[in-house]
Amino acid sequence: MTQPLVVCVVPHTHWDREWYHLAPRFRQALVALVDALLDASASMGGDGHARPGPFLLDGQAITLRDYLAVRPTQQAPLRDAVQRGIIEAGPWFVLADNLMPSGEAIVRNLEAGRRVLAELGATAPPVAYCPDTFGHPAALPVLARGFGLHVAGVWRGAGGTAHPRGDAFWWEGPDGSRVLTHHLPPDGYEFGSALPASPEAARLRWERLAELWRARNRTGVALLLNGADHHARQPDFAQALQALAVAAGDAAAVRHTSLAAWAERFGAQAVDVPLPVVTGELRDSYGYTWTLGGTLATRASQKRRNARLERGLLRDVEPWLALVRLHDRSAQTSVVSPAARVTMAQLPALLARAWEDLLTTHPHDTLCGCSIDAVARAMDVQQDAVAAQGVGLREAALQLALGHDPVAARAHQHFDARRVVVRNRAPRVRAGLAVLRLQETVGDVPVGPASAEASPRAQEVLRGATRSTGAWVSQRLGVRQVFARRESPQHYPDNDLVQEQRWLVWVPAVPAAGVTVHDHRSFGVHTAAPSWPVTVQEQANDVTVDNGRLRLRLTRHPEPRLSLQVDDRVLPDVLALETQADVGDSYTPALRGPVERLRCVRARVVHRGPLRATLRLRWCATPTGARHGPRGPIAVVTDISLDAEASALHCAIRGMVLRTDQRLQLVWRTDVHAGMVWADAAFGPVRREVAVAPAESRESVVPTMPMHRWAMQANAMFGATMIADGLAEAEVRDQRLALTLVRGVGELSRATLAERPGHAGWPTPTPEAQSLGPFVARTALYLHGPMSDDTLARVRDVCDDVLLPLVGETWRDLHTASAPPSLGGASLQGEAFESSAMTVSQGDERAVVLRAHNLTPRPANGAWHLPDEGPWEVTRCRLDETPVAETIVTGSVVPLAAGPREVITVRVRRAP
């Protein structure tokens, strides 16, 4: 370099909100840290001492919330500090794991971070700062540019053999968008910690720093982060900075700057420097620093539940709020209700709070499962809270959309319990199989002191909705008695004993992202039936199930085995369960010994059609030791189902694991040889290859990978896709798609693993991470042709049918007079497009946001179809709703013209 190096020293703390302590314990230190920053900032007087420079609170805004929860009287000085840049926070709400959450969850994370800072009148540094995440999605450049972040900072995930050597590169997203990326040194965000103040020590430190920058620096601007985990500001920082500057001499200009100031200088300098371009995911730091890619199945049940909660908010809450606005019902419901009903005056804020509660479980130490057991228990409680909020938000939004008033409904002594509301959670019109929960009232159940003397008051039993379904084809799955409540903000809950029956019903078309309302009389009005019902043929030694597309055969002897046939493709022994000893820790698997296949000990038919046929298989691993231990028992039940007209084979799993230090996988055996591997990820599919570690790597490559909903192997002739109900650890090998169901480990970190010598975290026993006890999961297998645009479209639709089928339930006090028979949302047209969001706008109380991405590497055309001709005002936006084009007025069709893999966001509202 011809010019002196510019060294930007940014004091910071890396704040794991919870890890080896609970969040409230870490918050105590955070309060002291921020108080010290504010006190130093306010201490300047007439003594001539300069105010301390900027300090970075780790790129996350939740630290500000955590501080103010304890020190609310400090809001004014904190506001002043973040507005002046003395304290920097954001752009994230939390420093979340980047590979497990969906693309939309990452968007909500950035939105929440922006909200927190806006409350204090501040903005975040324009940096997608990810200092310790265990890898990064291919779509991070898309997300960064969608929020105006032109620079990214990463550590883990980059530096492997496939990546360029150097501290700067352009990272290009699938859609071609680029973000200038700084790659932290092998020591990461701790490289500049505890800078020495003595001249000799400063000289030695400078020599180490300069050696690394000579090898890696590409722009003439270096970032030196001064801090480490939970570190406060270095007390003698000013003296240490001066000593470093003296040691550097003419070779460098050492400056104390903010992260924002560094990003501006870094970006300006990079304009004139040729930098390499990196594409795809960042999941390979082997030989550079620890990648820590083995957390994907630690505490697997929490990861599965997180995915279900995300999907619930995105697909079974937000579209119903959008439905209210699309049908202009928000004009009547956007004001505060005198009767204290929840309206659109509160729902968007309540939705944002539900997301924030879920996001607090997304930091990598929490969601990755590499924390103490107490943190995992707190995550369970938080997930319970999010689940309850989701149910309430869905009910309130649908009540507004359907014009249902729970207060007025309670005025009716004899309510009609025959109304059934069917929901379509997909952005396309769907007919066919629906799962309905139909209730009939058995009797009133009093609550309170008087209930000790009262007996349940029998009411008229309304049986119409659960008897014959007329011309509709139906199949009853089960029945139970439960308690159900009608709630109203003006009444004490009305508690009833109800008989609840689960039915499969073949229903006519339900609008995209919409609902239909039926009563028992309407079941006989329409003729609806599958073109080929499911048939079951049972003989002495085998059972054959056929739905016209797939044929499943169970052979009982000598041991139950399943084979699957699709056209001329036959997959013998298609399903297996395998366990293997795993003596690793929460970060890294360490598989040992032979793979043990669970024995299938029993098989029988539990559903015989015409809409669903189910074979129930019971599996076990024979224990050879104590009831709990490395050779304890494992028992699993798999319900393998074929639905009418379905293209995929479904599998519902429930099990009991009492074996420690082991990994349990479900394996689909396929016929795909030498195929490429693809998986669902943030904003579209990514191609996956197993990394290659250099010889000097002190960490073994983890052969498993994350998958959001599906993982695929496909060659030039055909392919197979595995679908799962939650964020999953998948392993794809020739003729094998494996899903990790349970991984049991008993230590947060072990230092003696051959796969990763040394501690990745603090050594702490984590007996609850053994995941002993019951578990549940769902998966499916879909056989198809080679990888193509058409295949991606079919996989998209099959995923919706498997994970988000048509569902319905009895609304026991809904009046037909107030409820329209059908109400549709926005429908997405175009085989190349997948919807990722249909929600209410963050900035316009009358608008909805519709977001779709092009699944294919080619330009594509499509359209959103709105419920009526409007007219509608449509504005093309970035991910953060910043307009990028002029608003247009249109009818019911909103055209989409997308580049390869492009994400398109539009904001829609009714024109005046």
Distance, in Å, from the CA atom of 610 to the CA atom of 798, rounded to the nearest integer, reads 20
- Which residues in 198-224 are b (16+ Cβ under 10 Å) and which e? eeeebbebbeebbeebeeebbbbbbbb
What pLDDT is recorded for position 417? 58
Q: Which residue in 472, 402, 409, 507 sits closest to 822, CA to CA?
A: 402
In a domain, 436, yes or no: yes
- Three-state DSSP at 142 gives helix
Q: 837 and 742, same structural domain? A: no
Distance, in Å, from the CA atom of 902 to the CA atom of 173, rounded to the nearest integer, reads 9
Q: 848 and 754, same structural domain? A: no
- Three-state DSSP at 736 gives strand
Contact present, 753 and 687 (Cβ < 8 Å): no
What pLDDT is recorded for position 467? 41
Last residue of a domain, one of 244, 279, 314: 279
Q: 541 and 520, same structural domain? A: no
Q: 745 and 879, same structural domain? A: no
Q: How many domains does the chain have?
A: 4
DSSP per-residue string spanning 570-601: EETT-EEEEEEEE---SS---EEEEEEEPEEE
Contact present, 298 and 798 (Cβ < 8 Å): no
Which CATH number characterizes residue 260's domain? Answer: 3.20.110.10
By the 10 Å C-beta count (0-12 exposed, 13-18 middle, 19+ buried), 797 is classed as middle
DSSP 702: P
Contact present, 257 and 10 (Cβ < 8 Å): yes
Last residue of a domain, one of 210, 244, 279: 279
Q: 646 and 781, same structural domain? A: yes
Q: 557 and 643, same structural domain? A: yes
The boundaries of the domain holding residue 898 are 826-912
Q: Are strands 569-571 and 561-566 parallel, antiparallel or unpaired?
A: antiparallel
Contact present, 775 and 301 (Cβ < 8 Å): yes
Distance, in Å, from the CA atom of 497 to the CA atom of 456, rounded to the nearest integer, reads 9
In a domain, 615, yes or no: yes
In a domain, 303, yes or no: no
Distance, in Å, from the CA atom of 24 to the CA atom of 37, rounded to the nearest integer, reads 20
What the block records as the tokens of 308 is: 């279900």
Which CATH number characterizes residue 612's domain? Answer: 2.70.98.30
Which CATH number characterizes residue 831's domain? Answer: 2.60.40.2220
Examine residue 558 and say whether the peptide bond preceding it is cis (omega within 30 degrees of 0): yes
In a domain, 246, yes or no: yes
In a domain, 341, yes or no: no
What pLDDT is recorded for position 332? 60
Q: 101 and 11, same structural domain? A: yes
Tally Cβ neighbours within 10 Å of residue 674: 9
Distance, in Å, from the CA atom of 479 to the CA atom of 911, rounded to the nearest integer, reads 48
Last residue of a domain, one of 511, 529, 547: 529
Segments of the chain scoring below 70 in pLDDT: 1-2, 44-51, 329-333, 412-417, 454-472, 520-528, 624-626, 816-817
Distance, in Å, from the CA atom of 36 to the CA atom of 86, rounded to the nearest integer, reads 12
Distance, in Å, from the CA atom of 879 to the CA atom of 802, rounded to the nearest integer, reads 28
In a domain, 228, yes or no: yes
> Tokens 């309060």 sit at which residue?
31
Q: 550 and 468, same structural domain? A: no
In a domain, 222, yes or no: yes
In a domain, 178, yes or no: yes
Q: 117 and 214, same structural domain? A: yes
By the 10 Å C-beta count (0-12 exposed, 13-18 middle, 19+ buried), 247 is classed as buried
Distance, in Å, from the CA atom of 631 to the CA atom of 872, rounded to the nearest integer, reads 64
H-run or E-run covering 782: strand 773-784
Which CATH number characterizes residue 464's domain? Answer: 2.60.40
H-run or E-run covering 169: strand 168-172
Q: 871 and 767, same structural domain? A: no
Tally Cβ neighbours within 10 Å of residue 757: 11
What pLDDT is recorded for position 521? 56
Phi/psi region, residue 303 (left: phi>0; alpha: psi -120 to 50; beta: rest), is: alpha
Torsion of CA 462, 441, 409, 824, to 10 degrees: -70
Q: Which residues contact 244 (CB under 8 A, 6 or more apart)?
A: 7, 9, 195, 202, 205, 206, 254
Q: 725 and 866, same structural domain? A: no
Q: 83 and 25, same structural domain? A: yes
Contact present, 129 and 59 (Cβ < 8 Å): yes
Phi, psi of 328 (to 5 degrees): 60, 20
Written in H, E and C, the secondary structure of 606-652 is EEECCCEEEEEEEEEECCCCCCCECCCCEEEEEEEEEECCCCEEEEE
